[in-house]
Amino acid sequence: MDALIEFLTHPWFLYPAITVISVSLIAVLSAWKSRAPDDTLFLACLRWVNKQHVRWIHSLERPQQDPLPATGSGILVANHRSGLDPTAILSQTNRVIRFLIAKEYYEIFFLKPIFTRIRLIPVNRNGNDLSAVKQSLKALKNDEFIGLFPSGGIQDASESSAGDTESNDSQTEDEMKHGAALLALKTGAPIYPVYVEGTPNFGSVLLAFFFPSKSRIHFGKPFTLPQPQAKAPSKEELEQGTIKIQRAIREASPQEATAKLSPA
């Protein structure tokens, strides 16, 4: 016992321990002070750590004005070029966004408790997941925000660009998933398009988090889809809604905005 006390009070252990505890307390207090209205202490700390991470590693600052409304439901849709994309988007707003996440990632044992606490929605990659649809519909009816990447998995940034209309439209028809359009047509929730730029375009999620970048998040104008003629949206309505969503994501990019302003 005496040896343990001597070890714990030795300067080479005591001083670093005091420093770590002090820094941790300051971080917790800072996180709580800057918390969003509905944040728990856990979520506030997680949000604070995320903000520091994207700021110092990915040069991503938070806008002065929150790009999302403080209340009400919404469907956030974005292009997907990196495993960093969800946390980069979350760093820009106080809203809790319930992103849909591939079930194999959700089930990683040391991450699942965190994903459960922040209420992500696991979904099967094959797209046939009634449970995920039901959870998303319930969340929207409860005035929550849902986040989706209509393209599915991470896309190779070299294959298409924001300004390449032909390649992007063909991607919509062949590769884009109809989940966002389905949710919007069934609930009437507004859609918030986002264009992600500069996040590390790697297949490895871990590498994307720690590889320095100059990431930018561009929010487009929210819009709604026309309500379906029948109770269940038709295939044509889903396809047209998905095309409109994909185009809105592209139009949120600064390259597209510049192209519109340039003379023909």
Higher pLDDT, 262 or 205: 205
Contact 132, 139 (CB under 8 A): no
Q: E strands within the chain?
A: 74-78, 97-102, 121-123, 145-148, 191-197, 216-219
How far, in Å, CA of 64 to CA of 61, rounded? 9
Closest Cα partner for 115 from 87, 81, 82? 87
181 pLDDT above the threshold of 90: yes
Q: Would you state the structure tokens that stand for residue 165, as one six-digit string?
A: 């209309």
Over the stretch 112-157, which tens digit does the pLDDT of each residue have? Answer: 999 999 999 999 877 667 899 999 999 999 999 999 999 878 887 7
Per-residue model confidence (pLDDT) at position 112? 93
Cα–Cα distance, 220 to 197 (Å, whole number): 13
- Residue whose pair of structure tokens reads 């992600």 in the numeric block: 196
Residue 233, φ and ψ in degrees, nearest 5: -60, 140
DSSP element (H, E) containing 29:
helix 11-33
- In the chain, % of residues over pLDDT 70: 79
HSE, CB side, 13 Å, CA atoms: give it for residue 155: 22
In the chain, % of residues over pLDDT 90: 52
Q: pTM for the complete prediction?
A: 0.84
- Helix, strand, coil percent content, the chain, rounded in steps of 5: 50, 10, 40
Report the DSSP pairing between strands 216-219 and 191-197: antiparallel
pLDDT number for residue 162: 47
For the chain, how far is it from start to end, CA to CA, in angstroms?
Answer: 82
Lowest mean pLDDT among 15-19, 78-82, 225-229: 15-19
Q: What is the pLDDT of residue 80?
A: 93
Distance of CA 181 to the CA centre of its chain: 18
Pairing assessment for the beta strands 216-219 and 145-148 based on DSSP bridges: unpaired
